Amino acid sequence: MRETSRALAAFLCLFLGIAAPALAAPGSGAFGIPPPPAVNARALVVMDAATGQVLLAKNPGLVVPPASLTKLVALHVAYEEIAAGRLSKDELVTIDKRDCSPYVPYGSSLVYLQPGMRVSVLDLMRGMAVASGNDAAFALARRIAGGNEAFASRMNEATRELGLPELGFVEPSGLSELNRATALSFASFCRRYLELHPESLAELHSLRYIEFPREEHATEAYKPQGRIIQYNRNNLVLSYEGCDGLKTGYIIEAGYNLAATASRGSTRLIVVTLGGSGNTALGGGAQRSRDGSALLDWAFGSFVTLAPELGPLPELRAWYGEGKKLKLVPAEALAVSAPRSAAADVSVRVVAPRSIDAPVAKGQRVGEVVYSSGGQVLRRVDLVAEREVAKKGFLGSFLDAIAKFLARAFGEA
């Protein structure tokens, strides 16, 4: 119970932005949020997918090998290649013997690729996402970058571009204990992955099973015998209402890992647990699913994602700048994850000046949208400049200075 109390305290500090000494007993906080479940994981994060708000955290910065969660980052790179036109889902990849057993550990997760098979990129991606095929990960890496090491460099470049340098990889399958992640960084990655590749849920992660290999994958040396079904390794996809992704993972050095997402109504959640032990009555994999289900139940029962009507965002007078008006845009989604007990009282307001002096950089913070309930701020979203505003020359600036003086004199600036 003491660990649960600490977890709830950590959540309230993160969510409410108040100091730990102000906390009351678990469950008696500002919004009566019930205590979260105790789970068998060394680190965890529960996140609202729309807003990025952390609803619960335990050791969020602890570094743990991500195991097969690594394949999600590999899939991100594949989707980026497809978007860039350098790869097609329909392209047939000829399987190299180096990406098959015995070069890939036989006791690990496989889709049982055979040398000489011609397999579509989409089948390889599904083999990674559903059956967690290490051979599929290696084959895709070889097609995209020529091999695992070069592909891992692409993965690291991609995570740096997403602003997640805490993630690091030496190969694409997750077999290596040298891959690294934290619960917070990986939950943040999952959020960006879903934003960038929403189609991945329907075409990869929510599939209950894949049929592979099929007759079309036969080679001179290998003929598939009958229909071969490989079920999704993420049991929550099979059993939890609203769960449509993402991935499980296990290696001895890490323990049992989970990255799950589920949606109900307007709310989509992301749960990441790292370092689950196998020393449980139910077994490590079953316990991982049980813990993921319990965390999702707690979060769905405690929070809801809302997007209160805000109306049009203001346009500012840009003094001394080219173009009189400057539009403001939100830096993040205009939504808030609110405690269910406070949902009916959530209000939203815009805080921004009426004018700004040039020069202004594109993306410069100018104001904010503030979500509140009962006098407690729930979330702030930065409003930023939609475009760059260059400063006028001397004459234009001089005329603007006169206009600005007169506007202030009449209370219009």
Sorted by sequence, the CB contacts under 8 Å of residue 317 that are 6+ apart come out as 324, 325, 326, 354, 355, 356, 407, 413
Query: DSSP letters of 296-322?
Result: HHHHHHHEEEE-----SPPEEEEETBS
Q: How many CA atoms lie within 13 A of 386 on its CB side?
A: 11
Q: Tokens 């036989």 identify what position?
A: 106
Q: Are residues 344 and 364 in the same domain?
A: yes
> Of 238, 273, 304, at which residue does a domain stop?
304
Q: Which range marks the domain in which residue 332 is found?
A: 315-409
pTM, two decimal places:
0.88
Cβ atoms within 10 Å, residue 28: 11
Measure Cα distances from 183 to 11, 41, 58, 78, 162 in Å: 14, 10, 9, 23, 16
Residue 373 lies in a domain: yes
Amino acid at 151: F
As a whole number of angstroms, the distance between CA 46 and CA 53 comes to 9
Amino acid at 380: R
Tens of pLDDT along the chain (413 residues)? Answer: 333 334 444 444 444 332 222 222 233 356 889 999 999 999 999 999 999 999 999 999 999 999 999 999 999 999 999 999 999 999 999 999 999 988 898 778 999 999 999 999 999 999 999 999 999 999 999 999 999 999 999 999 999 999 999 999 999 999 999 999 999 999 999 999 999 999 999 999 999 999 999 999 999 999 998 999 999 999 999 999 999 999 999 999 999 999 999 999 999 999 999 999 876 655 789 999 999 999 999 999 999 999 999 989 988 888 777 777 899 999 999 999 999 999 999 999 999 998 888 798 999 999 999 999 988 999 999 999 999 887 766 555 565 566 655 566 555 55
> Of 304, 330, 355, at which residue does a domain stop?
304
Q: Are residues 223 and 372 in the same domain?
A: no
Cβ atoms within 10 Å, residue 190: 26
Q: What is the CATH number of the domain that holds 222?
A: 3.40.710.10
Cβ atoms within 10 Å, residue 365: 12
As a whole number of angstroms, the distance between CA 344 and CA 336 comes to 13
Q: How many domains does the chain have?
A: 2
